[in-house]
Chain A
Amino acid sequence: MNNREIILHTNSVGKYFYDPIKFKAIDDISFDVYKGEFLTLVGKSGSGKSTLLYCLSTMDTAYEGELYIKGEKVTGKKPNELANIRNCTIGFIFQFHYLLPEFSCLMNIMLPALKLNKYTYEEVEQRAYEKMKLLDIEDQALKPASKLSGGQQQRVAIARALINDPAIIMCDEPTGNLDSKNTQIVFEIFNRICHELGQTIIAVTHDLDFAKASDRTIELADGKIISTYENN
């Protein structure tokens, strides 16, 4: 296990909330995440799992300790540099789909890639269609995002997270809002992303079945890691 490539590393990350009283939401968290791993973070409500994810996501910068992504220290970087890291290295999937309602599904998926500006418009369009094919939604491409069912919207959100081939995909309750059939679909997609495409997934969930099906689960309570177990 130790010879695998470390993609994300935290060194004693902690975070305080000050409102309404000073309170340590996460405390001294250190762990490694490997390339191609499907990692889940579980814990009761208020255990700090979402807070930890937002620290890892680089969106929340008000934490102590250090965060390394792909061996590079990201703690202390400027907001615009962090935006670049999110753009090309991290994909996000949320409990609520957060698609841009004025845009077609295709454009929702394409926007992060257009922002990256690495490929031409035609190439981006073609890549977006490939991702949609992977998620079996290519026939919805030109519909407005708001016209899709919840399961379809979540798949569009996943395609958007994948468009720039990020090394890490972070999910906050990705199945929290889905029925069991769609949950199953999302889970299968995640497995393929990790094991066939070699991308890493870090997912926060309170769905224990979903957690059990991942490669490794870290359980948090009161801001601390209380157990880590490998699932088979």
Chain B
Amino acid sequence: MKRKANVEIALTHIVARRKQTFTAALGVTIGVGVYLFMNSLSAGFSKFSRGEIFKNSAHIKIYKNDEICSPFIPNSKQDNVNVIVNPQITTLSKKIIDPENLLNVVKSQSYVTNAISQVYFDAFYNRGKAQIRGTGNGVNIIDYDAMFSTSKYMVAGSINNLQGNLNGIIIGSGIAEKLNLGINENITVSSSFGIVKVMKIVGIFTTGNSLNDQSRSYVNIATAQQFIKEGPSYVSTIFVNTPNADRSGYYAEQLQQLTEYTVEDWQTTSADLLSGDKTRSTLMNSISLSILLMTAFIIYNLLSSTIMQKINDIAILKATGFSGTDVISIFLMEAVIMGLIGTIMGMILGAVLIWMMSGIYMGGPVGYFPISFELSLFIQSFVLGIVITTCAGYFPARNAANVDPVEIFRK
């Protein structure tokens, strides 16, 4: 029980007014708990939707963009005629020249964790008269799986059956359903270049995204090259993964210096999804922050009324030699103690809410609600809780410091 006078007074007040302390702490608890919970919801969902993006697309893709001829060719000599042409796409082929070399160069960069090449083609899946239009992906399925974990979505067969099987194909469950085809059955695939192949279904996948499931199929790169009448050096896109998705813009700039082809990071590709994400988290943030601010008013109110009731005590403290600074520190300490109790309880409340939410099954591709315990959010809530309650306590404390003892004693 050896304490400084200010600490002694603050603690005695806190203990003597347990009920008020508890009420104030409870207010902070709810504020901090809801803040933590809502931010975890938002963070969890952002993580989920980002995961959705990376199901089919890597952090960075390298492809040959369409070239457009310059519409205006200015002439250096005055008397010559300026030539104006209609802007036109002048790309003859979307092929990447020497893709093996480029892939090796990209892979050798220290910030590249994984890189694969891919060949796209427009595919038509036929059975009898029925036809479905879709996209064929020519990939090295083992490398592709390492990047996009396709094996997770397999509902029949296995990705390993495709490896080295030039006549094999993995199709989406939507295609299989519509054409009434099962595993190990034959499917006729044709391309826009007029190539027709009868292929064997070695696997079926379901991603939960019906657009994907009804159009996408995977074949070997060589097979895809045949479909578009190209040689083994043709590659349409190179996908690159980096250690940190948030910095892919910077990595894309680095890669751009290595190649003439277009290097695009996922933030550019999925700008629409990202802006939606940003809007939602801003919304959640502002709602939860307002709730937290409301709890600050609980502290403010409670401390203000405490000070009004204790005005005689404050006068006597000042008369016996406690300075304004001492009075501020006493009441600020009380606010911080209330805030600390409330914040800690709030983090427990938030954790319980997160735990309960993570057990709720949402169905569909989402599964259980995408929410998790994030240390950074816990730290953020703690710091905000303490800072806000301290600020809320400072103003009434300053009023207390300005109490004029003479005015009180003269009454």
Q: Mark A20-56, 1 if CB is under 8 A from B, else 0.
A: 0000000000000000000000000000001000100
Question: B356 in the interface, Cβ–Cβ < 8 Å?
Answer: no
In angstroms, Cα B311 to Cα A14, docked, is: 28
Which of A60, A80, A84, A86 has a CB less than 8 Å from the CB of B406? A60
Q: Are A115 and B13 in contact (CB under 8 A)?
A: no
In angstroms, Cα B320 to Cα A121, docked, is: 18
Q: Are A59 and B405 in contact (CB under 8 A)?
A: yes
Q: Which residue of B lies closest to A164 (CB)?
A: B321
Q: Which residues of B contact A85 (CB under 8 A)?
A: 321
Q: Which residues of B contact A98 (CB under 8 A)?
A: 312-313, 315-316
A-B contact pairs, 15 of them (CB 8 A): A54-B409, A59-B318, A59-B319, A80-B323, A83-B323, A98-B312, A102-B16, A112-B321, A114-B5, A114-B8, A115-B5, A115-B322, A115-B326, A117-B5, A121-B3
Q: Which residue of A lies closest to B411 (CB)?
A: A96
Instruction: Point out residues on A near B: beta carbons under 8 Å.
Output: 50, 54, 57, 59-60, 79-80, 83-88, 92, 94, 98-103, 107, 111-112, 114-117, 121, 160, 164, 172
Since A83-B322, A111-B8 are in contact, a sample of 7 more A-B pairs with Cβ atoms closer than 8 Å, ordered by chain A residue number, is: A50-B410, A80-B323, A86-B320, A94-B316, A98-B315, A115-B326, A116-B321
Q: Which residue of A lies closest to B316 (CB)?
A: A98
In angstroms, Cα B316 to Cα A115, docked, is: 13
Question: B2 in the interface, Cβ–Cβ < 8 Å?
Answer: yes
| Closest CB in chain B relative to A79 CB, distance in Å | 6
Q: Which residues of B contact A114 (CB under 8 A)?
A: 3-5, 8
Q: Which residues of A contact B161 (CB under 8 A)?
A: none
Q: Are B4 and A117 in contact (CB under 8 A)?
A: yes
In angstroms, Cα B312 to Cα A102, docked, is: 13
Q: Are B319 and A92 in contact (CB under 8 A)?
A: yes
Q: Are A79 and B4 in contact (CB under 8 A)?
A: no
Q: Which residues of A contact B8 (CB under 8 A)?
A: 107, 111, 114
Q: Are B320 and A160 in contact (CB under 8 A)?
A: yes
Would A84 and B323 be within 8 Å (CB), given that A111-B9, A114-B5 are in contact? yes
Q: Which residue of A lies closest to B410 (CB)?
A: A50
Q: Are A87 and B321 in contact (CB under 8 A)?
A: yes
In angstroms, Cα B320 to Cα A94, docked, is: 12
Question: B325 in the interface, Cβ–Cβ < 8 Å?
Answer: yes
